[in-house]
Amino acid sequence: MSEDGYVPYGWQFKDERISIKSAKGKSINCFGMITRDNQFEYATTYETINSNFIIEQIDRFSYGIKKNTVIVLDNASIHQSKPMRLMQDVWSKRQLFIFYLPPYSPHLKIIERLCKETKAR
């Protein structure tokens, strides 16, 4: 996949207009977690990301941790859902804890910068 167009060869007359109709592709949604030492865990889907998707990814991640780990989440409704809250007891037994940021504080979430760069490109 590339963001650059591919036109290996082409020509046109001076007064001729040529255009290539663009096609809309499927959106890819990504859920990612990044550590302070820049290790990145992510999962992508063509579907809408919902609470169940987040739970699956965090649950999968929880089996691989070896020490107390904190995941920092914003206050998005999918992060605050009842199933997410119920899973916190399960995860805490695996040494995984969820911390919710105060409202309106994306500057405290280190992955926001990566998301901004990715969307810009």
Q: Tell me which residue of 30, 59, 23 sits closest to 45, measured CA to CA.
A: 30
pLDDT tens string 25-63 = 788 898 988 887 888 889 999 999 999 999 999 999 999
Rounded Cα distance between 18 and 29, Å, is 33
pLDDT tens string 59-85 = 999 999 999 999 999 888 999 999 999
* Domain parsing of the chain, residue ranges: 49-120
Residue 105 binned pLDDT confidence (cut-offs 50, 70, 90): confident
Structure tokens at 96: 């995984």
Q: Give me the residues paired with residue 92 across strands.
A: none
Q: Are 63 and 91 in contact (CB under 8 A)?
A: no
Single pTM value for the model? 0.69
Q: What is the pLDDT of residue 5?
A: 63
The pLDDT of residue 6 is above 70:
no
